[in-house]
Structure 1
Amino acid sequence: MAAIQGVLKSGQFIMGPNVKAFEQEAAAYLGVKHAVGVNSGTDALVIALRAAGIGPGAEVITTPFTFFATAEAISQVGATPVFVDIDPKTFNINPDLIEPAITSRTRAILPVHLYGQAADMDPIMELAKKYNLKVIEDTAQAFGGEYKGRKLGTIGDAGCFSFFPSKTLGAFGDGGLIATNDDEIAEKARMLRVHGAKKKYYNEVIGYNSRLDEIQAAILRVKLPHIDEWNEARRQAAKRYNELLKDVPGIVTPYEAPYARHVYHQYTIRVPDGMRDKMKQFLADQAIGTMVYYPVPVHKLPVYAGSNYRLPESEKAAGEVLSLPIWPKILDETQARVAKVLEATLV
C-alpha cells in the first residue's frame, strides 16, 4: 500500500521510475542484460517474436498443451504455429519430436515451461543452433524456476513472463516482461512497446501501446525480493501433497524432471480412466476448488481445428489433468483435507 501511495503522490503513472527500477531488479535477479516491461504476458510473446524477426510466412514450432496465448501470439505476428506433442510425464514439448517438424519455413521454437516446470532446453537449443532458429521461452507460469541451475526465460533468445495476479510473481492486474541478453531484441522490444518509437512522436515502425503500468511495477518491486521464499514454500507444499497422495489409487502425482527446479505454479495430478470430471465435481461439492489447465489442447480449439493434427499425448492429458489448490502459505491441514476428500472420491 505504501508503494501504491508513493506512485499516486508522485503523479508519474506511465513509464516512471518504478518501471525502470523494476526492470533493473528483474534483470539482476534473472541474470540477463535486459528486462523490458510490457503490459501482459501475451504482449511479451508478441513483441518478443517480432523483435526476434518472426513474421508473415514463418513457422514457429510449439506445444498445443498450453494457454491459448502461446499460439495466439504466433498467429498475431503473421506466423504459423506448428504443434508438436508433449512428453506425458512433464506435460512440456517433447524435444524428440521437434526435428521432424522443422521445414524450410521454420524460424523459431517456442517452448512453454508449463505449471512451473522447465522444458528440456538443451536439446531444443542444439536444434536451434543446427537449423539457425530463434528460441522464445514462454515462462508465464515459471518465474524463478530453473533448468540445470539457470533461471528459466534466460536460456533462449528471449524469455516472456506474465505477472497476472495468480502467477508465482503476480501483480494486482496485468503485467509482463521480456528478458534477453540480445541487445538488438531488447532495443526493438523497447520500441515496439511504445508505438514503434525510440523518440516520442518519431515513430519508425508500427508498434503497440504495451507499457508496464507504474503502479504494477511498484507492487512487483515489493514482491520480487520474496519470490525465492514463496517458490520454495510452493515446493514444500508439493512435497506434502506427494506424501499425502502417494498411496491413493487412481491418481498420478506430478513428475519433477531431474534437470528442473519446479516452482509449482500449479500442482497438477492426472486422473485416468475417465474419472477426472467426476473427481472435480466431488471436490467442488466439498467446497474444494480445482481447475483444469487445459480442457482442450490448442490444436483442437475452433480457431485451429482445421489443422488436422493428431497429438495423442496432449489430447489424453487434456482429459486427465486436475490442478489442486496450492499457494505459498497453504496450511498442512488444508492439504490433508484435500487429500482425504480425493481418496474418498475413489472409494
Structure 2
Amino acid sequence: MNKLIKNIKFRPGKDWIYYAPDTRYVFGEPEKKAVRVALEVGWLGTSKITANFEDSVAKIFGKKYGLFVNSGSSANLLALEALNFPKNGEVITPACTFNTTVAPIVQNGLVPVLVDVRASTYQIDVNEMKRALSKKTVAVLAPHLIGNFVELKAIRDFCKKNKLMFIEDSCDTLGGLHREKPSGAWSDITTTSFYASHIITAAGAGGMLMTDDKKILERAKVFASWGRGIKSYLEPIEERLSVFEVDGRLYDSAFAFVQLGYNFRPTEIQAAFGLAQLKRLSGFRSARRANFISLMKFFGKYDKYFVLPEECADSEVHWLAFPLLIRPGAPFSRSELVTYLESRKIQTRPIFSGNILKHDAYKGVKHRVVGDLKNSQAILHNGFLLGLHHTLTKGMMNYVFSSLEEFLAYKTK
C-alpha cells in the first residue's frame, strides 16, 4: 500500500482525479534525504549513485548492464544508434504505439514496418509480425504498451530464428515476469522510463538502456555523451592523450568526437531520487494491481459495451493505466463518455497514438504496412485510458464508479 496517500482529503467533484500519479503523493522524506546526500557530496554529474541505480534497475530486468539517460525516448533512440544498422533496414513495430517508439526508427535512417495489435491486449500481433519479415528486416522493436507484456518468448524465438535483434521497449512498465523470467531475459536490448507518470520516477524524468552486450553498452555511452570517444574527462591525462589522433596529432580523447552524438546525460540527483523510489516499487505495484482488479470487476458488468483488457499469458505484468475499447454499436461515443468524465474532474487519455500513421508527423515518412491495421484503427477511434495508479484513494475509485454508473444508466435505459 502507498502510505503517502493516507492524508489525502478528496472532495468529489471539486478535486481532480488525475490519469497519472499526483506527484505530491509519490515521494516523501526518503527521496528528499537521498537528494540532500547527493548534493552534500557535491558532484552533480553522474557518478557512484548513478552506477548503483543502473545496476539496481538492470538487475530487475535480468540484464548485466544499465545506462541511465535523460528519458525513455532517448533510450530508444540510443538502442538503434548503438546497433548501427545499415540504412533502409526494416524494423517491425506495431502501429498502435507511442511516437518515440517509431520516431527513432525513422531518425536512424531505417524503415518502420507497421503491423497490427491484438484488440484486447494492445500488444503486437505475433502472426502479423511474422508476415512482415523480409530480406531487409533487421529488428523487432516491441513496446509493452500500457504496461501489458508482448509475447516475449514468441518474439525472441522469431528473432533468433531469423537472426534479428529484439529491442524491448518497456517504457510503460518496470520489471515483471514472463514464464518466471524477467522480461529483459528475453530481449537483446531493453529500455525503460522514469517519467513522472510512470510506476517510479527519477525526480520527474529519466530513462535507461539495458543490455548484456558490453559493445552495445559502450557504443550507447558514446552517443549519449556528445559523441566523444571517452567516457570521462576525469581519467589521467596520460591515458587521454594515448588513444585518439585529430589532424595527425594526439588529442585529449575526452574531447575527440567520434560520433554525431547527443547530450542524453541525466544527473546524480535524479539517480538518488530513483534509488529511493525503488524501495517503494513493491507498494506502488500492489496499489496499481488492486486498482486494476477493481476496474476489471466494475467493467465486467458492462462488457457488452467495452472490450476489457486481457493480460499476456504466463506473465506477471504491471499496468501503466486501464485501457478500454468501446464496442461497435454501443449507445454512446468515446467523445460523449470522456467529455462527461472530464466534466466530473476525472481525467482520461486516448490510447496513445491509436494508428500512428494517421498522425501528421508520419505524412510523407517512408514506411511499409502489413495487414489492414483494423484494431489499431478501432483503438484510434474508440479507445481511451483511465488512471489506476498508486495515488488513487478508495474514495476516488468509488467516485469514478458512481460517475460511470450514472452515465451508463442514462445512456442504456
TM-score by length of 2: 0.80
Matching residue within 250, 253, 260 for 1:206: 260
Q: CA deviation at 1:270?
A: 1.8
Q: Distance in 2 between the 1:42 and 1:225 partners? A: 24
CA-atom RMSD, angstroms? 1.8
**1:27 aligned partner, one-letter code:** A
Amino acid at match of 2:284: W
Query: What does residue 78 of structure 2 align with?
Result: 47
Instruction: Compute the displacement of 1:55 (Å).
Output: 4.6
Please give the alpha-carbon distance, in whole angstroms, between the structure 1 residues aligned to 2:269 and 2:212.
Answer: 26
- Equivalent positions of 1:24-39 (< 5 A) are 24-39=55-70
Residues 1:170 and 2:201 are matched in the alignment = yes
**Matched residue of 2:186: which SS?**
coil
Q: Report the CA distance between 1:296 and its aligned residue.
A: 4.2
Matched residue type, 2:322: Y
| 2:106 alignment partner, SS class | helix
Unaligned runs of at least 5 residues, structure 2: 1-31, 232-253
C-alpha deviation, 1:158, in angstroms: 0.3
Unaligned runs of 5+ residues in structure 1 are none
- In 2, Cα distance between the equivalents of 1:106 and 1:295? 24
Question: How is 1:50-61 mapped onto 2 (pairs within 5 angstroms)?
Answer: 50-61=81-92
SS in 1 for 2:279: helix
5 Å-filtered alignment, 1:132-147, equals: 132-147=163-178
Matched, 1:316 2:374: no
SS at 1:319's partner residue? helix
> What letter is aligned with 2:223?
L
Deviations 1:67-105 (A, max 9, x none): 100000111111111101111111010010112211111
Higher RCO, Cα 8 Å, sep 6+: 2
C-alpha separation in 1, matches of 2:385 and 2:86? 35
Q: Does 1:84 align with 2:141?
A: no
* Partners of 1:170 and 1:64 in 2: CA distance: 27
Tell me: CA distance 1:237–1:141, structure 2 relative to 1, closer, same or farther (3 Å).
same
- Alpha-carbon offset, residue 198 of structure 1: 2.4
Is it true that 1:94 corresponds to 2:125 in the alignment?
yes
Q: Pick the aligned partner of 2:388 from 301, 326, 334.
A: 326
CA distance in 2, matches of 1:288, 1:255: 24
Residue matched to 2:309: 254
Asked whether the equivalents of residues 68 and 265 of structure 2 are also in contact (C-alpha less than 8 Å), the reply is: yes
Give SS of 2:67's match: strand
Distance (whole Å) between structure 1 residues aligned to residue 258 and residue 312 of structure 2: 44
Tell which structure's C-alpha radius of gyration is larger: 2
1:308 deviates by 7.8
Pair 1:282 & 2:340 matched:
yes
- Are the aligned partners of 2:70 and 2:265 in contact in 1 as well (CA < 8 Å)? yes
Equivalenced residue count is 347
Task: Give % identity.
Answer: 27
Q: Partners of 2:295 and 2:362 in 1: how far apart?
A: 36
Cα distance between partner residues in 1 of 2:131 and 2:377: 20
1:258 corresponds to which letter in structure 2? Answer: A
- Tell me what 1:12 maps to: 43
1:92-131 alignment runs, 5 A limit: 92-131=123-162
